[in-house]
């Protein structure tokens, strides 16, 4: 979907540190988990921004910050120009209507003692101005219909539904207040393969129907590519590379993005031989003890002295003036490297379908 006009969301310098304390009576801060450590991005109207990264990279914390479920340690989140991190009370409540979340686990994010009708209609209890009381029942039924569930299910309980159906309930709840932005945190990763495609198609259709902007957080790179206009790659609390989907997938310049893409198994046995895989050594460092300089350097095969001293900024590297490689990448030694085989093997007549 095309981007137009000014962004719906502008995130700059976003930081979330969770203090680590010691002692019961006299709590002393002895460190911090630097979950999100300086994140900047914008989200255009009607756009989908995918955020990928491995566990512990801070992508879910970003989601919580966007929905104001957590307060940032520093930085700002502007929704149509207004910094929502400084709002409180009534003003905050009004903004929250416009940014809704769809959670990962449809098993734990629905209250088992509430009926589907109550779950989907609950946002109206909190924001009564969104729908007059007499109209709510009808709206809930409409919402169920929109997400592909039988409206007669309103009196059923979550346990009577499958995972995919529950995720539809979660999506219906997210739509209830007619938000402009939906933050979806791993919305399909708990679902069976054959059901994932159904939910992705639903999200795609709803985006057009309700003119939504999505922040789509996931670890499955092929699904993110399918749904996103732009993609940001996170590592240890920061975005290390961001750009249009083709720029990231076909012309990655950050070594972490290259390793991540090369590690994804390709569903084509013929690609086994001609694939180059970058196998990273070691594990992700702890977010309580982030390496100096470039945070990826401890696992990077290109690391030199400069990387330990100087933090690379997220900007278009000077070596690329134009073309698809010229997008933001936080690496001192950014270099283009194609790691995903061109799709010709799948696009020709041999592929399934």
Partner 1 sequence: MLLEVRDLHVEFRARDGIARAVNGVSYAVDEGETLAVLGESGSGKSVTAQAVMGILDMPPGRITGGEILFQGRDLLRMKEEERRELRGARMAMIFQDALSALNPVLSVGEQLGELFTVHRGMSRKAARARAVELMDRVRIPGAAQRVRDYPHQFSGGMRQRIMIAMALALEPALVIADEPTTALDVTVQAQVMDLLAELQREYRMGLVLITHDLGVVADVADRIAVMYAGRIVESAPVHDIYKAPAHPYTRGLLDSIPRLDLKGQELYAIKGLPPNLTRVPAGCSFHPRCPMARDVCRAEVPPLYEVSEDRGSACHFWRECLDGDER
Tell me whether residue 21 or residue 208 sits nearer to partner 1 (CB atom): 208
Give yes or no for residue 269 binding partner 1 (CB under 8 A): yes
Q: Write the binding mask 327 to 346 for partner 1: x where contact by CB under 8 A, - elsewhere.
A: ----------------x--x
Q: How far is CA 243 from CA 46, 62, 91, 196, 271, in A?
A: 16, 18, 33, 25, 26
Q: How far is the CB of 25 from partner 1 (least distance, A)?
A: 28
Residue 28 phi, psi (nearest 5): -120, 130
Q: Write the binding mask 212 to 241 for partner 1: x where contact by CB under 8 A, - elsewhere.
A: -------x-xxx-xx---------------
Give yes or no for residue 289 binding partner 1 (CB under 8 A): no
* CA–CA gap between residue 209 and residue 147 (Å, rounded): 11
Stretch that binds partner 1, among 3-11, 22-30, 78-86, 270-278 (CB under 8 A): 270-278
Q: Which of 94, 264, 290, 316 binds partner 1 (CB under 8 A)?
A: 264
CB atoms within 10 A of CB 24: 6
Q: Write the binding mask 176 to 215 for partner 1: x where contact by CB under 8 A, - elsewhere.
A: ----------------xxxxxxx-xx--x-----------
Give yes or no for residue 160 binding partner 1 (CB under 8 A): no
Contact (CB, 8 A) for 40 and 237: no
- Binding-residue total with partner 1 (CB under 8 A): 48
Stretch that binds partner 1, among 104-112, 125-133, 279-287, 318-326 (CB under 8 A): 279-287
CB atoms within 10 A of CB 58: 25
Give yes or no for residue 115 binding partner 1 (CB under 8 A): no
What's 346's DSSP letter? H
CB atoms within 10 A of CB 5: 8
The contact set with partner 1 (CB under 8 A) reads 54-55, 162, 164-165, 192-198, 200-201, 204, 219, 221-223, 225-226, 245, 259-260, 262-272, 277, 279-280, 282-284, 343, 346-347, 350-353
């Amino acid at each position: 979907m095309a981007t137009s006009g000014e962004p719906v969301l502008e995130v700059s310098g976003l930081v979330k540190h969770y203090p680590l304390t010691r002692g019961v009576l006299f709590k002393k801060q002895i460190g911090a988990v630097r979950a999100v450590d300086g994140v900047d991005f914008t989200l255009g109207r009607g756009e989908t921004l995918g955020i990928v990264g491995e566990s512990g990279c801070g992508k879910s914390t970003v989601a919580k910050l966007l929905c104001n479920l957590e307060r940032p340690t520093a930085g700002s989140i502007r929704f149509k120009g207004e910094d929502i991190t400084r709002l409180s009370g009534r003003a905050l409540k009004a903004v929250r209507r416009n940014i809704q979340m769809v959670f990962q686990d449809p098993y734990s994010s629905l209250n088992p003692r509430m009926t589907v009708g109550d779950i989907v209609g609950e946002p109206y209890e909190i924001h009564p101005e969104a729908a007059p009381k007499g109209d709510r029942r009808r709206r809930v039924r409409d919402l169920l219909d929109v997400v592909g569930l039988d409206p007669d299910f309103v009196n059923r309980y979550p346990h009577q539904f499958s995972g995919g159906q529950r995720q539809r309930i979660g999506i219906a709840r997210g739509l209830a207040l007619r938000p402009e932005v939906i933050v979806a945190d791993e919305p399909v990763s708990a679902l069976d393969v054959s059901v994932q495609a159904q939910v992705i198609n639903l999200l795609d259709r709803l985006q057009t129907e309700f003119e939504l902007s999505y922040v789509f957080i996931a670890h499955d790179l092929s699904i993110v590519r399918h749904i996103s206009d732009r993609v940001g790659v996170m590592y240890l609390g920061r975005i290390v590379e961001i750009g249009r989907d083709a720029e990231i997938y076909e012309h990655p310049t950050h070594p972490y993005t290259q390793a991540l893409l090369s590690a994804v198994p390709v569903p084509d046995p013929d690609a086994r031989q001609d694939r180059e895989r970058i196998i990273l050594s070691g594990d992700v460092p702890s977010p309580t003890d982030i390496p100096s300089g470039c945070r990826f350097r401890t696992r990077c095969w290109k690391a030199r002295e400069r990387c330990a001293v100087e933090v690379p900024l997220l900007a278009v590297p000077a070596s690329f003036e134009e073309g698809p490689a010229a997008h933001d990448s936080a690496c001192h030694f950014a270099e283009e490297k194609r790691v995903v085989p061109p799709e010709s093997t799948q696009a020709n007549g041999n592929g399934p379908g």
